Structure formats: C-alpha cells, structure tokens
C-alpha cells in the first residue's frame, strides 16, 4: 500500500509540474501545424506583398515567424526575376545570412527600420559562411535572384515601400 501511495503521489506531482510549465509561444502569422522546419523540402509559398524599390516592383514572400525565417529559400530550385523573400525581424540587430540547403544563387539586402537599404551582398549556393551585416540596425532582409539589385540599379540608400505604405507601417503599424 505504501508503494502504491508513493507512485500515486509521484504521478500527481508530475501532472502538477507539467501543468505549470509555461506554454510555448505560437506565431500568430502561421498556424502551429504548418510552423515546422522543412528539413528536406522547400516550405510552401508564403503570403506575398508588393514592394517598390525606387521605380522597380518586386513581389516578395513574407517570412515573419522564426521557422519561416530559418527555412527561407531552402531547397527551392528556381526563383523568378520579379520574386523575392522579405524577412521581418521584431527589432533591429546585426543580421548574418548564409545559404544552407539553398540551391539558387541569391543576393540579399540588409535594410534598416526605416526601409532604407544599408548594404547588398551576393550569396553562393550551399555556402554556409555567414555574411554578417556591417550595421546592427538591420530589421529586414530582402533576398532575390542574384544580380537583381545591380541589374536594376538598386543600391544602398534606396528606400523600400509596399503597396500598403512604408515597411514599418505595413508590418508594425504606427509606432
């Protein structure tokens, strides 16, 4: 009887402890069932937004959850000239991007909280060497087909807007 009582007490304690654990945060932009790392395949197309970089238009998938950002363009076999992926971060930081499991040559722009391109880098397929931003003010990163920025005369200082206004207004509302 004492063993049975000890086992019951241990099980009750375990249930109480599990019930007291803080629940994991769930991204509001992606349902939990879809918010998992795609380790062997490309993630499905993400919601898009039209971007304007000067007079040039680009359609960008929006990667906003940690899983979407971590997966990015992995395993994609092609990207159209007018497509890209915009990575959204909660606050400015010193970004560093690399190309794990990414097969398509890409260029990436590190962008500040005002939507101004700070720097642009070319990334090599499957190269896992991080390309660190020179600035700690990066809040957005835009990836697209390698050479797109150069071909379209887009460089540092270019301001990016969306069909809904500035990047800050579009993704964070009025601050």
pLDDT confidence tier of residue 95, bands split at 50, 70 and 90: very high
> What share of the chain has pLDDT > 70, as a percent?
77
Supply the pLDDT for residue 21. 33
Q: In the beta sheet, which residues pair with residue 67?
A: none
pLDDT confidence tier of residue 175, bands split at 50, 70 and 90: low
* Strand ranges inside 37-166, DSSP E: 48-53, 56-63, 83-93, 96-97, 106-112, 117-123, 131-132, 138-145, 160-162, 165-166
In angstroms, how far is CA 52 from the centroid of its own chain?
A: 19
What are the residue ranges of helices labelled H in the chain? 2-20, 66-71, 148-151, 167-172
In angstroms, the CA 123 to CA 107 distance is 6
3-state secondary structure of 9: helix
Residue 28 has pLDDT above 90, yes or no: no
Instruction: Give the chain's radius of gyration (CA, Å).
Output: 21
In angstroms, the CA 139 to CA 171 distance is 11
Q: What is the pLDDT of residues 105-147, one digit of tens each?
A: 999 999 999 999 999 999 999 999 999 999 999 999 999 999 9
Residue of 129, 133, 131, 127 whose CA lies nearest to 104: 127
Supply the pLDDT for residue 160. 98
Bigger pLDDT: 30 or 100?
Answer: 100
pTM of the model: 0.78
In angstroms, the CA 123 to CA 98 distance is 7
At CA 97, angle to CA 72 and CA 91, rounded to 5? Answer: 85
Q: Which residues contact 76 (CB under 8 A, 6 or more apart)?
A: 42, 102, 103, 104
Domains of the chain (ranges plus CATH)?
42-172 (2.60.120.1140)
What would the two tokens of residue 142 be? 């835009």
């Amino acid at each position: 009887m004492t063993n049975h009582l000890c086992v019951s007490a241990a099980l009750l304690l375990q249930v109480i402890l599990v019930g007291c654990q803080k629940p994991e945060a769930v991204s509001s932009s992606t349902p939990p069932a879809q918010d998992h790392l795609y380790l062997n395949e490309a993630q499905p197309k993400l919601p898009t937004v039209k971007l304007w970089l000067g007079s040039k238009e680009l359609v960008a998938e929006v990667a906003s959850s940690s899983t979407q950002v971590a997966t990015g363009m992995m395993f994609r076999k092609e990207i159209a000239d007018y497509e890209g992926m915009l990575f959204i971060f909660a606050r400015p930081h010193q970004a560093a991007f690399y190309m794990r499991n990414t097969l398509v040559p890409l260029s990436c722009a590190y962008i500040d909280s005002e939507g101004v391109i700070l720097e642009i880098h070319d990334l090599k397929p499957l190269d896992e060497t991080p390309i660190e931003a020179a600035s700690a003010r990066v809040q957005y990163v835009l990836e697209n087909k390698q050479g797109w920025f150069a071909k379209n005369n887009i460089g540092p200082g270019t301001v990016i807007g969306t069909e809904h206004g500035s990047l800050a207004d579009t993704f964070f509302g009025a601050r």
